[in-house]
């Protein structure tokens, strides 16, 4: 069996080893203390212990139902397939546009049969007026919906796999703001702000989010005219490969670009302070500082920690893991062709890339944002009978066209620095829960019961209601055997 060889791994072995070395405990403690302060959650403290590495502990008493944590992601990405169903801010993942745009866009893409990739929004908005990307449903008139309500009922055509399709002109009217649904102004969404690089693939809820994403990630991953990538063609090949294989590569790319862009800022600031011009050589101390947020996450090589699929026999495990390693190497080569930075060359080693992906594999948490479309149709359903009947003359054909999956939420994967420090228990005292006001991609955790000051805050990595043996088998993929009180009690 051939082995995968990456020359950068050999050439920068010492630098790579330094980057992957776990930070010293005092540095870890300082980092998380600062993070807790900036997150505005003074009721928590991160402690280090030998048994589980790190843990999060209550520094105050939490009552059942109390908010324990709101954690902003280090990096996150919407699943490629989910982009057809939901138009969200590419930085904070808040739904954007309007109820009409959300519905019209989804119906348009369904009818078009668009593959779930970065082209979906390019195709969606290509034929619409430029001002479509500045829609804000709160600016619409209350009753400016279809002039002839019966027209929506009369224009139903044959059934599709999604539902009963609407005519193309109705769908486009929803997208461009000409058709406003009844009561939709009760669910205003932020205007759609286009990518500052002009890629027509990333959209935002505000100029603030657009600028933040550009500065932290997107300037190197943009395929627009202002992109700082080496070539648009190479970047598109990387995206295509990720979308066809595993979109975890998109998350890894974000971490690489985050580190490169932070390094460049640190290098520019250092050179200015020293009154020197940049030499073009890698400064390992600055690269380590740029890498610091990533260094805090637990990491292993992806091809070593990925769970063996059920359809792969144990005797074929070595071959499977080699295929995964080759897949990562292919992705890395495509990314290198698109955004390579000589001063940050160690980041393009397979060892670093594999550990970044492994960090997401081991620590990844679901990125979920509830759909306002579901709230909208529930609102219509709860109207007084007379108003509901009138409104449903308009909304029923739309709902029928959407089909059973009318309320798909935004779904993705992200790395949350504080939540990733929380250890597992099959009897957790906290869980992820989005409240009514939680409308972006931040992780939100609430207390399931009283959590006393000094007690460790735990969550469940799996379905804790599964039988003992199934729980242990699933947790083995995380690299440990659970010894929580529930497991000790149920252990045969």
What pLDDT is recorded for position 52?
65
| Confidence class for position 365, pLDDT limits 50, 70, 90 | confident
Q: Do the bridges between strand 456-459 and strand 423-424 make them parallel or antiparallel, or are there none, so unpaired?
A: parallel
pLDDT class of 122 with cuts at 50, 70, 90: low
pLDDT above 50: residue 141: no
Q: Is the pLDDT of residue 331 over 80?
A: yes
* Measured CA distances, 253 to 144, 238, 258, 333 (Å): 44, 9, 8, 12
Q: Are 303 and 325 in contact (CB under 8 A)?
A: yes
pLDDT on residue 491? 87
At 410, list the tokens.
């935004």
* Cβ neighbours of 251 (radius 10 Å): 26
Taking residues 78-92, what's their average pLDDT?
Answer: 95
| Residue-wise pLDDT tens digits, 394-441 | 999 999 999 888 889 999 999 999 999 999 999 999 998 888 888 999
Cβ atoms of 174 and 101 closer than 8 Å = yes
pLDDT at 156: 42
| Per-residue pLDDT tens over the stretch 281-300 | 789 999 999 999 999 988 89
The dihedral over CA atoms of 432, 117, 356, 439, expressed in degrees to the nearest 10, equals -20
Burial per residue of 125-138, b for 16 or more beta-carbon CB atoms within 10 angstroms, e otherwise: beebeeebbebbbe
Q: State the pTM of this model.
A: 0.87
Which residue do the tokens 């769970």 mark?
307
* pLDDT higher than threshold 90 for residue 265: yes
pLDDT for residue 143: 43
Q: How far apart (Å, rounded) are the C-alpha atoms in residues 25 and 16?
A: 20
Per DSSP, the residues of 195-264 read: PTT--SS-EESSHHHHHHHIIIIIHHH--STT--SS-HHHHHHHHHHHHHS-THHHHHHHHHHHHHHHHH
Q: Among candidates 197, 203, 204, which has minimal Cα distance to 224?
A: 197
Mean pLDDT along residues 266-293:
83
pLDDT tens-digit map of 177-198: 899 999 999 999 999 999 999 9
Range from 154-158, 217-221, 463-467 that averages highest in pLDDT: 217-221
pLDDT for residue 149 is more than 60: no
Mean pLDDT within 200-225: 97
> How confident is residue 479, by pLDDT bands cut at 50, 70 and 90?
confident
Which of 37-41, 92-96, 241-245, 389-393 is predicted with the least confidence, judged by mean pLDDT? 37-41
Q: Given this model, what pLDDT does residue 42 score?
A: 82
Instruction: Please give the mean pLDDT across all residues of the chain.
Output: 87
Non-local (6+) Cβ contacts of 75 within 8 A are 217, 251, 254, 255, 258, 414, 415
Other beta carbons less than 10 A from residue 57's beta carbon: 17
């Amino acid at each position: 069996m051939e082995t995968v060889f990456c020359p950068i791994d050999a050439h920068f072995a010492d630098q790579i080893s330094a980057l992957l070395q776990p930070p010293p405990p005092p540095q870890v403690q300082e980092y998380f203390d600062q993070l807790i302060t900036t997150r505005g959650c003074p009721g928590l403290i991160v402690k280090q212990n030998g048994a589980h590495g790190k843990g999060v502990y209550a520094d105050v008493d939490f009552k059942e139902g109390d908010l324990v944590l709101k954690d902003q992601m280090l990096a996150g990405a919407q699943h490629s397939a989910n982009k057809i169903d939901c138009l969200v801010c590419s930085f904070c993942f808040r739904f954007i546009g309007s109820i009409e745009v959300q519905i019209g866009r989804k119906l348009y893409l369904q009818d078009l049969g668009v593959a779930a990739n970065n082209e979906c929004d390019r195709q969606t908005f290509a034929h619409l007026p430029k001002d479509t990307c500045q829609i804000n449903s709160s600016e619409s008139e209350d009753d400016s919906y279809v002039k002839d309500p019966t027209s929506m009922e009369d224009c139903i055509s044959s059934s599709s796999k999604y539902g009963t399709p609407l005519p193309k002109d109705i769908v486009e009217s929803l997208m461009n703001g000409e058709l406003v649904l009844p009561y939709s102004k009760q669910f205003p969404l932020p205007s759609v702000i286009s990518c500052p690089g002009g890629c027509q693939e990333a959209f935002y809820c505000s100029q603030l989010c657009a600028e933040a994403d550009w500065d932290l990630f997107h300037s190197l991953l943009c395929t627009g005219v202002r992109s700082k990538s080496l070539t648009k063609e190479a970047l598109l090949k990387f995206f295509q490969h990720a979308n066809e294989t595993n979109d975890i590569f998109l998350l890894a790319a974000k971490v690489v670009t985050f580190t490169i862009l932070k390094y460049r800022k640190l290098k520019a600031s250092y050179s200015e302070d020293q009154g020197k011009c940049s030499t073009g050589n890698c400064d390992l101390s600055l690269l380590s500082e740029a890498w610091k947020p990533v260094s805090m996450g637990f990491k292993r090589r992806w091809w070593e920690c990925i769970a063996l699929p059920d359809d792969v026999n144990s005797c074929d495990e070595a071959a499977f893991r080699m295929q995964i390693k080759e897949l990562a190497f292919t992705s890395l080569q495509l990314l290198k062709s698109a955004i390579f930075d000589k001063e940050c060359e160690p980041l393009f080693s397979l060892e670093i890339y594999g550990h970044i992906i492994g960090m997401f594999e081991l620590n990844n948490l679901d990125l979920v944002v509830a759909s306002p479309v579901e709230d909208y149709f529930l609102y219509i359903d709860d109207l007084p009978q007379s108003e509901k009947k009138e409104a449903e003359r308009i909304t029923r054909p739309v709902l029928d066209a959407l089909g059973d999956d009318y309320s798909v939420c935004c779904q993705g994967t992200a790395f949350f620095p504080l939540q990733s420090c929380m250890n597992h228990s099959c009897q957790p005292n906290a869980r992820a829960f989005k409240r009514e006001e939680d409308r972006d991609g931040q992780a939100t955790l609430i207390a399931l019961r009283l959590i006393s000051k000094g007690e460790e805050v735990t969550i469940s990595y799996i379905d804790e209601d599964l039988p003992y043996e199934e729980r242990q088998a699933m947790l083995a993929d995380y690299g440990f055997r659970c010894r929580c009180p529930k497991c000790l009690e149920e252990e045969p």
